[in-house]
Structure 1
């Protein structure tokens, strides 16, 4: 990959194609829960997530990355909510009926075009009504500010990093970070190397110190209560020292060596997510 890039994106997926795929995936998850003999649970409240954590059970919060399976009347949203949906990313990086995603471009600003459509703004209100988390990761900057104006819940970026450290369009500006802090929200640190590195390259030989600089910057600009893990293991190049979920122990060791004390570690690893889920998943 060259020093500058702008990756092509696929077209929006129509509802009639997206919905059967999502339903099939929810069915697979439901089967896994049923056959796990209590080792996996689909959680719909923060209390359930906490209980799973204490019991050593894998807690799953059902999330859509891109709302293309949701119809214009939000009937599908109601059905998916009943099936356990509790978090929605309004868009993936491609434009949709709901708004404009931010492309995979380096170097670049997240200010890449128009924000939410009228339908997208209504979707935010519906998610607020149902106490569904609204995820601003993958939204462009105009869409982010549209959500900030509408939502009555904490701003959540489930997997995003700092534009001040890596000038990738997917990363958040300090002004956006300040808005997340003001809302009592959270940023989950993304492990994808393209969003970590100052050169925007997708390289597995990325040093964990580069990732820790994003933690430091987020703690400075969002606050110690507003930063967590965002990972992004599915489909991204991750630093080789982490590799997959089993490598989180390596990251935790690097965080301790970096100087994070145990109270800070608890907040970053899970405590801050508990706080935000308790403020959002009120059902």
Structure 2
């Protein structure tokens, strides 16, 4: 088997796992427990060189909630958007998760580094140190006055999605709906437009994943940075509302941005099912389509590890070398695989953040 190529990943939800089991956080981070998709030993074994670590505020589950897992395994489905989450509830959770990310660096004995610049990411890659970047998946922890954004930026926040798949004071998320287009409602609010402008000023990357089509177009009109969707797939292959249409892909291409391939089965499978029984073909088909529209310098990986059901063939982070072997068997050479696995991410982050 060819030597594994390091992977920088556009999205994971490992911090949510740490938050859910604070008493076991050292075990969860530093030991290979076989639970979830990520931990430091498996990252190193699988060639995971770094990624964007999401700060995400989970919606409470009401007692009478429908079984969304079952619904997504039996399309068509249209899951209702969760209710908004108040700032007073979101901020303590976001601070706790940011604290977990800082603790991960301290607890790793030099094996993990929280990075704030592209130069720091490149240095970590050269040294064989796993890197992490703080990302907000939804901006509920930032008030409409935006003052908190300065504080989070000082703490290391370098990437932000204004919405997850629920409304905020900044905009309206795209629902989990199949089959459907991303044209599902209104876009950014006035506060959301101010958020985009300030992110540009602070050089915080704006993540288009989870935004509906109108929100996407609002960001495209306002932002002066490359357009990036950290963990999204091709709507032409899987017609899920969360996936990007060819028109959206063309806009991203025109702006020199990029898209990270999401491993969630509901966004990969042509039938939209949440079912892990699948091979490499759907992942490769999405990659082919993204490369055809964006070019090979503007596509990466955005796994959604620890936040989604992924294909059984990849399993967890230790399946990354097998994914690379599948890319080779599909006809991708090692130069292209290196671009998809880390070079394109480092390049676009340098274009957005500066050196």
TM-score by shorter chain over 0.5:
yes
* SS of match in other structure, 2:338: helix
Q: Which residue is equivalent to 2:244?
A: 172
Q: Which residue is equivalent to 1:71?
A: 143
Q: Which residue is equivalent to 1:211?
A: 283
Give CA-to-partner distance per residue, 1:102-123, whole Å, 9 cap, x none: 0000000100011000100110
Q: Which TM-score applies when normalising by structure 2?
A: 0.79
- Partner Cα distance (2:189, 2:278) in 1: 37
Q: Larger relative CO (CA 8 A, sep 6+): 1 or 2?
A: 2
1:77-96 alignment to 2 at 5 Å?
A: 77-96=149-168
Q: Is the 8 A contact 2:269 2:282 kept in 1?
A: yes
Q: Is the 8 A contact 2:159 2:206 kept in 1?
A: yes
Correspondence 1:58 to 2:141:
no
Among 103, 106, 117, the alignment partner of 1:45 is: 117
Q: Which residue is equivalent to 1:97?
A: 169
Q: For structure 1, list consecutive stretches of 5 or more residues without a partner in the other structure.
A: none
* SS of match in other structure, 1:175: helix
Q: For structure 2, list consecutive stretches of 5 or more residues without a partner in the other structure.
A: 1-72
Give CA-to-partner distance per residue, 1:117-158, whole Å, 9 cap, x none: 010011000000000000000000000000000101100000
How far residue 235 of structure 1 moved from its aligned partner, in angstroms, is 2.4
* SS of match in other structure, 1:237: coil
* SS of match in other structure, 2:113: strand
* SS of match in other structure, 2:347: helix
Q: Which TM-score applies when normalising by structure 1?
A: 0.98
Q: Which residue is equivalent to 2:306?
A: 234
Q: Is the 8 A contact 2:171 2:188 kept in 1?
A: yes
- Partner Cα distance (1:107, 1:28) in 2: 37
Give CA-to-partner distance per residue, 1:181-201, whole Å, 9 cap, x none: 011000000000110111100
- Partner Cα distance (1:279, 1:127) in 2: 14
- Partner Cα distance (2:106, 2:147) in 1: 26
Between 35-44 and 237-246, report the one with greater CA deviation: 35-44
1:1-283 alignment to 2 at 5 Å?
A: 1-282=73-354
- Partner Cα distance (1:172, 1:206) in 2: 22
Give CA-to-partner distance per residue, 1:12-62, whole Å, 9 cap, x none: 111111010010111111112122221111111000000001111111010
- Partner Cα distance (2:90, 2:256) in 1: 33
Q: Is the 8 A contact 2:82 2:165 kept in 1?
A: no
- Partner Cα distance (1:99, 1:206) in 2: 34
Q: Is the 8 A contact 2:144 2:170 kept in 1?
A: no
